[in-house]
Each structure stands twice: as structure tokens, then as C-alpha cells.
Chain A
Amino acid sequence: MTRVYRIEWLPGSDRLRGTCHCGATIEGQDPLSMWQWLLAHPAHPGPGDPGPATS
């Protein structure tokens, strides 16, 4: 399995969708906390918007 983590900016919106190589996904608006969520694999925290857009 290739260890690729992806965040796509959903066209026509300000939303981001993150996808882990294990298939787990998350949507949100803060790329920093979304990378944290993705790179926590395999211990992804609970789903949901992962937080405020600050770093």
C-alpha cells in the first residue's frame, strides 16, 4: 500500500476533503489540523471539522 495522504480543495466551495491511504476521509476548512488528522494514521481522531483555521 502506498502511503499517500491527499487534501483536495472541493471545486466551487471553500471546503477541503482529506483522504488517507487507508480510506479514511475528513472534510474541513483548516489544512493544518487536517494534515494532523491524516498523518495520525492509523489513530485518526473522531470525524468532523477539525477546528479553527489558525496555526
Chain B
Amino acid sequence: MSFVRDQWYVAAYSAEVGRTLLARTILNEPLVLYRTSAGQPAALADRCVHRHFPLSAGQLSGDTIVCGYHGFTYAPDGRCVAVPGQQRIPRTARVGAYPVAEQDSLVWIWIGDPERADPGLIPRAPWLDHEAYTTVRGMEPLAARYELLVDNLLDLSHETYLHGGYIGTPEVADTPISTEIDQEQRVVRVSRRMDDAACPPFYAKSTGISGRIVRWQDIEYRPPCLYLLHSRVAPAGILPRPDGTDPDGFHVEVVYAITPSTATSTFDFWAVARDFALGDADVSAFLHDSNRTVVLQDVEALNRLEQVVAAEPPGLQELSINIDTGGLAARRMLARLAEESAGLAVPLS
């Protein structure tokens, strides 16, 4: 699988982008991110046009970046506005400027043809920046190809084995799933509804529920980058009311942004937004530390798997079973998007 270009990717959390230079490589493209004095995020190619020195090792001066090697100076649109020792600025003195947009406390970047960048296509994760939710978040670098993380997140049966003691219980792996490919909405949905399940520590300690639970896991994957897990837990037998309201349920919106860095490394952005214990610092610290531990368990496993996969001959057969239905759907969707961006297929919508 190759990268999917002509797509929006999460480059950073809003809080990471400020008046200092942030270097990040996305889809093999080295970038430097910063915020202008007016508060707008900007992203430029992280290579001076002169001798290719990383601009991120330079200085921010007003809204311009001054290269730390010879002083070539670039505006937020990538134009070079000053060179050392001479008045004439070569016409080719310009670095790439990337379309960026800020939404839901995330800084998104368009990787591909800038002419095709439509901010209206950016998928939403409104819980991350909403007063009715309290959110904890982080980002862990993954030394593995992004497809392994997609596979991991689309099949939550692994929670039972890899994340026991945190979020995994026997019922997760034992409960059948329903999977959808929605070509118009460009989304893969995987639903697992557990009527009577053990309550893992992640939810028991944060909600205060002591007995068995109803546990719903409804995944919405919007390829290639955004993954949403709508998680609902409640004491066993407690369901949403007929009118659709759900005052007795606890809702956790688990958000991942899967951003490829290189062919074998990935930014694993994760966030956990909850609609209970709002502002409770102890619950926030517990959920942050627990989820980070879970993410690091995945990171360790996927880093190990990357080493294996990288050493295998191409096309080596693997075995897929029922639990893989969601991951296989995601692969189909990613392959289709890659074909579209390469001009090999007509866009579906």
C-alpha cells in the first residue's frame, strides 16, 4: 500500500503550533509549522531553497522564517523576501507552502495538489473542543507503517489480549461485529454491542460503576486519517431512552488521528473525550495515564510487527477471519482512495 495523497491529515494539536518552529515529516514531506502573529497556522517545506538547510532550525522573525544557515527569509506563503548581501531575490527563491486549517483543536494539513484542498472535506471531531466534554490527549510516535495502526484500531478484539487489565475483557473478543462500507460518506463503520460485560478498570474507575455493564463500541473510520470510537457504557440493563436521550449512559469519544510520517513511521495522535466527571482532575489524570499506557502497548506490539513485516517477502499470504472484517474494509477504502489520487479511478463522491 502506498500513501494516500490529496487528503487532509492531522499535523499537530492546535496547542503544539505556536510562535516557535515545529518540525514534522508527513507522508515523507519535511514540514515546518508555526503560527503567525495574527494566530493563523502556517506550514512550509522544511528545506531552504538555497542549500536545503532545515528551516525549522532557523528563527521566527515576525511572520517570517529566517534560515539559520545563511539568512534566507520566507513569508508564510513560501515566498523568499530577503537573501543575504544582495538586493535581487532570485525568482525561484520560494519554498512550498501547504494548505492548513484548524478545526476541533487539530491543525490539519493538505498533502497533495493544493488546488484540490477543500477545507469542507475535513472530517469533524467536535468533542475535542466542546464545553460539554473534558478531553485528555497525547501523541506517540510509532516506528511502523500506518496500515498496521489502521488494522489495529479497526479490530478491537485485540483489546482482550493486548490490553487486559485496562480496557480489555473477554466479552470484547467474544462479541460479533457488524461492519459497513459507506462509499458516499467515505466511512467504514464497525459496531460491537455487548449487553452484559465485565467492566474494565478504565471505565470502572472513571465512572464509578462497580457491576457488569452494557458496553457499546461504534467505530467510525474516515480514511485515511481520522478514527472515532463512540463508546457507551452503562450499568447492565440500562439503555438509551425511547426518545433517544441517554442521561444514564457514560459516553467516551475516543479519537485517533493516524498520520503517516515515513513509509515505516507514523504519528499516533490519541484523545479521550468524556461527558462525565467534567473537569475532574483526578479522573482526567487516570484516563490520560491509562489510555497512554494502552497506546504504548499498541506501539510496542506494532513496532515489533513492523520488524517482522519489513523482513517478509512481498505478497506473503496472511489469514483473515471474522474479526478482520473491519480492517479489510478499511484496506479496500484506502486502496480506492490511493487509486483516485493517482488518477487510476474515478472519485466515488
Chain A residues in the interface with B (C-beta under 8 A) = 2-11, 14, 16, 29-32, 35, 38-39, 53-55
Contact = CB atoms under 8 A, between A and B. Distances in A.
A10 B181 CA distance: 18
B182 interface: yes
25 contacts: A3-B182, A3-B348, A4-B180, A4-B182, A4-B183, A5-B181, A5-B183, A6-B179, A6-B181, A7-B178, A8-B176, A8-B179, A9-B176, A16-B322, A29-B322, A31-B320, A31-B321, A32-B328, A35-B181, A35-B329, A39-B181, A39-B332, A54-B317, A54-B318, A55-B317
A53 B322 CA distance: 9
Contacts of A8: 176, 178-179
A9 B192 CA distance: 10
A14 B332 contact: no
A11 B176 contact: yes
B77 interface: no
Contacts of A9: 176-178, 322, 325
B180 A5 contact: yes
Interface string B165-200: 000000000001111111110000000000000000
Contacts of A55: 317-320, 328
Contacts of B184: 2-4
A55 B329 CA distance: 13
Interface string B27-59: 000000000000000000000000000000000
A39 B183 CA distance: 10
B321 A53 contact: yes
Given A35-B325, A54-B317, 12 more contacts: A4-B184, A7-B180, A7-B325, A8-B176, A9-B177, A31-B320, A31-B322, A32-B328, A35-B329, A38-B181, A54-B320, A55-B328
B289 interface: no
B102 interface: no
B275 interface: no
A35 B319 contact: no
Nearest to A6: B180
B324 interface: yes
Residue among B180, B181, B184 with the highest chain A CB neighbour number at 10 A: B181
B321 A35 contact: no
Nearest to A31: B325
A4 B322 CA distance: 19
A16 to B, nearest CB: 6
B320 A30 contact: yes
A40 B179 CA distance: 17
A46 B178 CA distance: 23
B319 A53 contact: yes
A25 B216 CA distance: 26
A54 B319 contact: yes
A50 B174 CA distance: 24
